[in-house]
Structure 1
Amino acid sequence: MAVPVVLVAALVIVGLRVLTRPSVSAPDVQRPSPLPAYSGTCATIVVAASADSFALLTDLAGEYTRQTNCARVSVLPEDSGDVEQALARGWDERVDGVFPDVWLPAASSWVELAHEHTPALVPPPASVPSIAKTPLVIAMPVPMAQALGWPKHPVGWSELRALARDPRGWGRYGHAEWGPFRMGKTNPTVSTSGLHATVAAFAAAGGHTAALTAADVDDPRAQEYVRDLEYSAVHYGTIVQTFLDNLQKADDAGDALGYVSAAAVPEKSVWGYNRGDLRSTSSTAPPAHLPPRVKLAAIHPREGTLYADQPYVVLAGNRTDEAKQAVASHFLRYLLSEPVQERFRDVAFRDARGAAGPVIKDDPLLTVGSPKALPVPPAAVLDRVTNAWLSALRKRARVLVLLDVSGSMNNIVPGTGQTRLQLAKQATRQALELFAPDDDVGLWTFTTASDGRPVHEEVAPIAAIGPRLAGLKNRIDHLATGNDTPLYQVTDDAVRQVRDTYDPDRINAVVLVTDGRQDPPDDAALLRLRGTLTADAARQAPVRVFSIGYAEADEAALKSISDDSQGSYYPASDPATIEKVLRGVVSNF
Structure 2
Amino acid sequence: MGRHSLPEDSTGPDHSPRQDPTGSRSAARRRAVAICTAVVLALAIGAALVLRGALLTPMKSCASDAVRLGVAASPDIAPAVREVAERARSAQVRSDGRCLDVKVTSRASGDVAGALVKDGRDPGFQVWLPDSSVWVDRVSSSAPKAVPLDTLGGVASSPVGVAATPPAAERLGWPEKRYSWARLAGAATGSTDLRLGAADPARSATGLLALARVNASIAELGGGPGKGGPADTRAAAAAKLLSERTSDSDDQVLTTLPRDGSGAEEGNPRRNQALFLSEQAAYRHNTRAGDAPRLRLFYPADGTAELDYPYAVRGGDSVTTARARAATRFMTFLADAESRRILSRHGFRSASGKAVEEVARTAGGKAPQPYRAVPGSGPSSAELDTALGMWTITVQSARLNTVVDASASMSAPVPGRRGESRMDVTKASLLQALSQFTPEDEIGLWEFSRRLDGARDYRELVPTRRLGLSSADGSTQRDRLTAAFGALEPVAGGATGLYDTTLAAYRKARDGYAEGKFNAVVILTDGSNQDEGSISLGALVKELDRLTDPDRPVPLITIAVGPDADLSACEEIAKATGGSAQQVADPAQINAVILKAIVSASQAGTGTR
The TM-score normalised by the length of structure 1 is 0.52
Q: Are 1:152 and 2:176 matched, yes or no?
A: yes
CA separation of 1:114 and 1:377: change in aligned 2, threshold 3 A: farther
Could you give the per-residue CA deviations for residues 388-422 of structure 1, whole angstroms, max 9, x where no partner exists?
Answer: 2112x33779xxxxxxxxxxxxxxxxxxxxxxxxx
CA separation of 1:83 and 1:364: change in aligned 2, threshold 3 A: closer
Residue 84 of structure 1 is matched in structure 2 by: 113
Measure the CA separation in 1 of the matches of 2:176 and 2:107.
39
Measure the CA separation in 1 of the matches of 2:119 and 2:549.
30
Gaps of 5+ in 1: 1-36, 167-171, 174-179, 209-214, 278-289, 398-435, 439-462, 475-582
Q: Are 1:228 and 2:212 matched, yes or no?
A: no
CA separation of 1:355 and 1:157: change in aligned 2, threshold 3 A: closer
> Which amino acid is the alignment partner of residue 228 of structure 1?
A
**Displacement after TM superposition at 1:467 (Å):** 9.8
Q: Is the 8 A contact 1:107 1:308 kept in 2?
A: yes
Residue 516 of structure 2 is matched in structure 1 by: 465
Residue 270 of structure 1 is matched in structure 2 by: 282
Structure 1 SS opposite 2:177: coil
Measure the CA separation in 1 of the matches of 2:79 and 2:299.
25
Measure the CA separation in 2 of the matches of 1:437 and 1:376.
30
Measure the CA separation in 2 of the matches of 1:270 and 1:92.
36
Aligned CA RMSD, in angstroms, stands at 3.8
Structure 2 SS opposite 1:232: helix
> Which amino acid is the alignment partner of residue 253 of structure 2?
F
Residue 247 of structure 1 is matched in structure 2 by: 257
Gaps of 5+ in 2: 1-60, 94-98, 399-439, 443-513, 521-547, 553-602
> Which amino acid is the alignment partner of residue 275 of structure 1?
T
Superposition pairs for residues 155-234 of structure 1, below 5 Å? Answer: 155-166=179-190, 172-173=191-192, 180-207=193-220, 218-221=226-229, 222-233=231-242, 234=244
Residue 376 of structure 1 is matched in structure 2 by: 378
Could you give the per-residue CA deviations for residues 367-396 of structure 1, whole angstroms, max 9, x where no partner exists?
Answer: 3322553422343442332122112x3377
CA separation of 1:384 and 1:364: change in aligned 2, threshold 3 A: closer
> Which amino acid is the alignment partner of residue 198 of structure 2?
K
**Displacement after TM superposition at 1:464 (Å):** 5.1
Q: Is the 8 A contact 1:135 1:308 kept in 2?
A: yes
Measure the CA separation in 1 of the matches of 2:238 and 2:284.
26
Could you give the per-residue CA deviations for residues 103-153 of structure 1, whole angstroms, max 9, x where no partner exists?
Answer: 1111222233333334563457xx531111100010111221121222221
The higher-RCO structure (CA 8 Å, 6+ apart) is 1
Q: Are 1:346 and 2:345 matched, yes or no?
A: yes
Q: Give the one of 381, 384, 387 matched to 1:385.
A: 387
Deviates more, 1:56-65 or 1:303-312: 56-65
Measure the CA separation in 2 of the matches of 1:268 and 1:332.
21
Measure the CA separation in 2 of the matches of 1:116 and 1:197.
21
Measure the CA separation in 1 of the matches of 2:214 and 2:291.
31
Measure the CA separation in 2 of the matches of 1:252 and 1:165.
26
Q: Is the 8 A contact 1:80 1:106 kept in 2?
A: yes
**Displacement after TM superposition at 1:247 (Å):** 2.1
Measure the CA separation in 2 of the matches of 1:199 and 1:382.
6
> Which amino acid is the alignment partner of residue 172 of structure 2?
L
CA separation of 1:118 and 1:395: change in aligned 2, threshold 3 A: closer
**Displacement after TM superposition at 1:320 (Å):** 1.2
CA separation of 1:364 and 1:85: change in aligned 2, threshold 3 A: closer
**Displacement after TM superposition at 1:156 (Å):** 3.2
CA separation of 1:122 and 1:225: change in aligned 2, threshold 3 A: farther
Structure 1 SS opposite 2:333: helix
The TM-score normalised by the length of structure 2 is 0.50
Q: Is the 8 A contact 1:275 1:291 kept in 2?
A: no
Q: Give the one of 121, 127, 138 matched to 1:102.
A: 127
Measure the CA separation in 2 of the matches of 1:252 and 1:295.
12
Superposition pairs for residues 315-464 of structure 1, below 5 Å? Answer: 315-360=314-359, 362-363=361-362, 365-368=364-367, 369-371=369-371, 373-391=375-393, 393-394=394-395
CA separation of 1:111 and 1:472: change in aligned 2, threshold 3 A: closer
Structure 2 SS opposite 1:59: helix
Q: Is the 8 A contact 1:46 1:73 kept in 2?
A: yes
Q: Is the 8 A contact 1:49 1:105 kept in 2?
A: yes
Superposition pairs for residues 31-42 of structure 1, below 5 Å? Answer: 42=66
Structure 2 SS opposite 1:323: helix
CA separation of 1:471 and 1:364: change in aligned 2, threshold 3 A: closer
Measure the CA separation in 1 of the matches of 2:278 and 2:187.
22
Structure 2 SS opposite 1:264: strand
CA separation of 1:355 and 1:41: change in aligned 2, threshold 3 A: farther
> Which amino acid is the alignment partner of residue 128 of structure 2?
W
> Which amino acid is the alignment partner of residue 281 of structure 2?
S
- Give the total of aligned pairs: 344
> Which amino acid is the alignment partner of residue 208 of structure 2?
L
Residue 454 of structure 1 is matched in structure 2 by: none
Could you give the per-residue CA deviations for residues 457-503 of structure 1, whole angstroms, max 9, x where no partner exists?
Answer: xxxxxx952499999959xxxxxxxxxxxxxxxxxxxxxxxxxxxxx
Q: Are 1:121 and 2:147 matched, yes or no?
A: yes
Structure 2 SS opposite 1:139: strand
Q: Is the 8 A contact 2:158 2:348 kept in 1?
A: yes
